[in-house]
Structure 1
Amino acid sequence: MISEVIRVVGSNILILISNILIGFVIPKLMGVQEYGYYKLFMLYATYAQLLHLGFVDGILLKFGGKAKDDVNRQEIRGYSKFIFFLELIIGVLFILISLFIKSYVYKQIFIFIGLYTMIFNQVTYYQFLAQSFMDFNLIAVINGLIAFLNILSILFIITCIKIHLFSDVTFNQYILIYLSIYVLILGIYIKYYGNFFWGIHTRFKNLKDKIINIFKIGIPVTISYQVAALIFNVDNQYVSLFYSTKIFGIYSFAYSLISVATSVINSVSTVLFPHLNRKGIDEAIKEYEKSLTLLETIIFLILFIYFPMKIFVKAFLPEYIKSLTYLRVLFPGVGITTCISLLVFNYFKVAKMGKIYFKLSIFTLLFSIVFTWLIHNIFAGPVAIAYASLISLFFWYLLTNGYLVIKYKIKWRKNTLYILLMFVIFEITTSVDNLCLSFFAYLMLYILIIVLVFGKNYLSIIKSICRK
């Protein structure tokens, strides 16, 4: 598994470069207003993934960890044709409904969402097939290609501006380029998995019961994903609803910076689930505490990227300086969101506890909506909303991680204490105006907290490595 993690993460170095360009260059080229519209599209695009109705996640759960040679190809072809027609029908209906929206800008955004639904949900289907078959070389190549095409598209836009073909880039121009890239990726997947798309397939009526079962096992996971997306985006929704597109663009820029920091480590999730699924929950749970400890320390190490980001934004993106205020508040939340999406959620899936995870997430979502509304009305302003988001995320961590702790009797105090301490340390040290002093204060306290909280844990890990 370690070699596969390294391979997938290695391919994501190119994704990191791509995200840096998207995170820093596109906001500069678009300007705050157009960038705000683009981020509105990206916000609603996260919910479009619900429109495969659980089928894609059901495929991953059904075939996760199986070899390609062990599955019925005619049956898989039936599923591939089914998802094609399902997304085509849903996407076309979405576009037709969007034509009745009065606002021209929102009409364009939701037409793009319809196109995105048709394309991206099919890409996800093939990505999950590759993940199920543990075809991580393909995933690494596709991820690298997406990143390369993103880089190429940005360089193309810059070149066009330099030679005066156009003066700037609008949100709809860039979204068309973005969608075109995924059309190409879909074509490559269908070409690679041609044996699972072209040819004789099992008729839909003969697959009816199996398709229904795939929906049944997949929809709780899909809804859980979407509930998770809603929890992540409650603050974005409030800012988009109650503030101008310009303020929303600046607030969303903070999340773009966060995505730069998390793009590489999140790729590990594609490798993790099939391996955990093969082990089974009893064997996998033995590694839970150690995995959580390692993940938490890596994430709060990644938060050091805040300091060069601050320098870069001040120097090259002065129109987005206000976003640094939001970034400082939101950044520690990366520690929680990554732990939940990368580790906790995968353990719930392996234990077949998707419905329980869903219920805990629904409760968190309701808490987050109400709590953010109260904070917004009492204190007002996007900064207050950002703090409400951070607290809501920690509440979610306590619920989901706490359930696993109680059920499987996992030690939890050190990990929870570490997150709380690093929250406070990051917020205090980054509030210092002197950047060098702020950096070294966070560095010293980061090392000190690891020694005090996890010193014995890492000592035992080092000893076990030395024995080998």
Structure 2
Amino acid sequence: MSTASLTGRALTKGLSWVLVGNVLYMLSAALLTLVLPRIISVADYGLWQLYQLYVMYFGYVTFGYTDGVYLRLGGRRYADMPGPRLSAGLIRLLLADLAAWIGLVVWVWAVSPEPQRGLILVLAGVGAVFYVSRTLVTVILQIAGRARAFALGTVVERLVTFVGVGGALLVGAREVIVFIIFDVLGKLIGLVVAVLIARGVFLSPPDFSWEATREFFADCGAGMFVLVSNLAAALITFVVRWAVESHWGLEMFAQVSLAFQFTTMFMVLVNSVSISVYPQLSNLDRTHYAGAYATLRARFVTPLVLMLGLYFPLAWVLRAWLPRYGQAIFFLALLFPLSVYETKSRGLSVVFLKVLRRERLMAVINVACLGLAVVGTWWTVYTWGSVTAAVFLIAVVSAVRSIASEVLINRLIGVPILADTLTELLVCAVFLAVVALGGPPVTLLAVYATLGVYGYVHRDSLRLPRRLHRNRH
């Protein structure tokens, strides 16, 4: 067979369109994040964040199917997608989520929580039904290299939500339920648009044969470890936020959630980037994984470490714009290093572990870190009684999870990590120490000097190698 080469540019093929769609998503989310807390009360903003929290975790009700399809079809061309079986899979997934939503409605009716919260739960379930179904469509578009189409579906969904919520605010509406309804509507329209974009696959005559049914359950089984792993990672933040809400109430929950909202926007971007990169890695010879890992690490992690310097001007602007959220801005500083470690975990380590088919090891790491978060939350919230310690716990657990994943990657493909890991820990430690001191001018100079030295030392890592060679057998 002939030999071929895979350049750094090819490794991230289609990445620009993924970035466009997700940057627009981030901008719309940022505008809502910045505008809503200024206009509505802290308690109402807490309800809005409670809805967002429910939707995010209900979004994991995929039964492993989406992740299984992602693993099985990664690297396949759009024309080679099994349309009839994917069409039937989408219908099965939609029906399964509708059944789960009906179960949620029955539970809400039986338990009878506070009416407004019960309605938020039910609406979050509806939104999750549309969101989970659209995830299958967007995953197919991304792994097939249709990044522009994926970006369009994402933009449409966010545009509907942004215009709807913005219009409601302009006419004087301040009810959180109104905002939530527009968000659900955006997810519905996003699903419809995504299916129409991928109509060549998902509007094919569905195949409900016994063989297709067995394949559906096989995909669910194959993706279950990825689902457990992703859910465990997501539950790390859920445990802390739920404990804060139950112990300190809705207003403190709003403060913590606003800080998480900013970091979540980065995590959505990183997750989409990792999905886009996976097909390229699937077609790469294993002997060149170490080089690919170094390339991707240089492109994503080093700039994010340098972005820690943005916190201090950002905090100054946010304090002027959102004076009622001083605690949230402080919590954001504790979570800022989270973006560095989550980038390595979601954008790099998780992708390589999936390519290497080490989903079980990935799940073990995440479940162990979830256990650490549960124990730490109990101690920081219910024993110590410190919300600051509870939030800081998330950054610590995230760093532990990231470093553990990278150690595993090092053992599997032999990529060196010690020097980079230690320098990143040092930079984050200096940053957090300055935040703890209140950020006086002299210490700010220490942060920027440290970042300057880090950038100089890692200047070569920002220059991507021109070519990574790949062998075909």
State TM-score, norm by structure 2.
0.89
Q: Give the alignment's Cα RMSD to 1 decimal.
A: 2.3
Equivalent of 2:183 in 165, 168, 178: 178
Cα deviations by residue, 1:409-454 (Å, 9 ceiling, x for unpaired) = 22111121122112112112334556765654422210112334x3
Give the Å deviation of 1:353.
Answer: 0.5
> Kindly, what percent of the aligned residue pairs are identical?
17
Say whether 1:337 aligns with 2:342.
Answer: yes
Is the CA contact 2:338–2:395 (under 8 Å) kept in the aligned structure 1? yes
Pairwise CA distance, 1:357: 0.5
Q: 1:188 to 1:463 in 2, by over 3 A?
A: closer
2:20 corresponds to: 10
Matched, 1:128 2:133: no
Output the CA distance in 2 between the equivalents of 1:435 and 1:30. Answer: 32
Give distance in 1, aligned partners of 2:266 and 2:59. 23
Q: 1:94-105 residue pairs with structure 2 within 5 A? A: 94-102=104-112, 103-105=114-116
For residues 115 and 30 of structure 1, the distance between their equivalents in structure 2, rounded to whole angstroms, comes to 24
Residue 316 of structure 1 corresponds to which residue in structure 2? 321
Which residue of structure 2 aligns with residue 358 of structure 1?
363
| Deviation per residue, 1:242-264 (Å, 9 max, x gap) | 21111111111111232355554
Deviations 1:173-204 (A, max 9, x none): 11111010011111112222233333532224
111, 116, 123: which is aligned to 2:127? 116
Residue in 2 that maps onto 1:405: 410
CA contact (8 A) 1:49 1:117 kept: yes
Instruction: Label 1:31 to 1:215 Cα distance change in 2 as closer, same or farther (>3 A).
Output: same
In structure 2, runs of 5+ residues without a counterpart are: 1-9, 468-473
Letter in 2 for 1:127: T
> In the alignment, which residue of structure 2 is the partner of 1:222?
227
Are residues 260 and 442 of structure 1, via their aligned partners in 2, closer, same or farther at CA, if it must alter by over 3 Å? farther
Amino acid of the structure 1 residue aligned with 2:27: I
Residue correspondences, number: 456
- SS of 1:66's partner is coil
Q: Equivalent of 2:450, from 442, 445, 450?
A: 445
Query: Which stretch shows the higher mean deviation, 256-265 or 294-303?
Result: 256-265
Deviation at 1:229, TM superposition (A): 0.4
The question of whether the paired residues in 1 share the 8 Å contact of 2:64 and 2:227 is answered with yes
Contact persistence 1:67–1:133 (CA under 8 A): yes
Deviations 1:118-168 (A, max 9, x none): 21111111111212322111012222223333332343123212xxxx4xx
Contact 2:376 2:393 in 1 (8 A): yes
Structure 2 letter corresponding to 1:16: M
* 8 Å CA contact 2:410, 2:417 repeated in 1: yes
Check 1:69–1:258 CA distance in 2 against 1; reply closer, same or farther (3 A cut).
closer
**Aligned: 1:65 with 2:75:** yes
Letter in 1 for 2:414: K
Q: Are the equivalent residues in 1 in contact too, given 2:263–2:338 (CA < 8 A)?
A: no
The letter of the residue matching 1:224 is S
The 8 Å contact of residues 80 and 196 in structure 1, kept in 2 or not, is answered as no
**Residues 372 and 389 in structure 1, CA contact (< 8 A), matched pair in contact too:** no
> For the residues of structure 2 that align with 1:187 and 1:290, how far apart are their CA atoms?
37
SS at match of 2:371: helix
Q: TM-score, normalised by structure 1?
A: 0.90
Question: Which residue is equivalent to 2:394?
Answer: 389
Picking from 169, 193, 207, the partner of 1:158 is: 169
Partner of 1:415: 420
Distance 1:23 1:441 in 2: 31
Structure 1, unpaired ranges of 5+: none
Query: Which residue number corresponds to residue 212 of structure 1?
Result: 217
Q: How far apart, CA to CA, are the structure 2 residues paired with 1:282 and 1:372?
A: 42
- Note closer, same or farther for the CA distance 1:437–1:105 as it changes in structure 2 (3 Å cut): farther
1:114 is aligned with what amino acid? G
Find the counterpart in structure 2 of residue 295 from structure 1. 300
Distance in 2, Cα, partners of 1:432 & 1:371: 24
SS at structure 1 position matched to 2:60? helix
Distance 1:457 1:70, change over 3 A: closer
C-alpha distance in structure 1 between counterparts of 2:89 and 2:266, whole Å: 36
Worse-matched range after superposition: 282-291 or 40-49: 282-291
**Out of 57, 63, 69, which is 1:47 matched to?**
57
User: Is the deviation greater in 300-309 or in 184-193?
Assistant: 300-309
Correspondence for 1:88 among 98, 110, 125: 98
Are the structure 2 counterparts of residues 96 and 196 from structure 1 closer, same or farther at C-alpha, using a change threshold of 3 Å?
farther
Select the structure with the greater relative contact order (CA < 8 A; seq sep ≥ 6). 2
The more displaced of 385-394 and 355-364 is 385-394
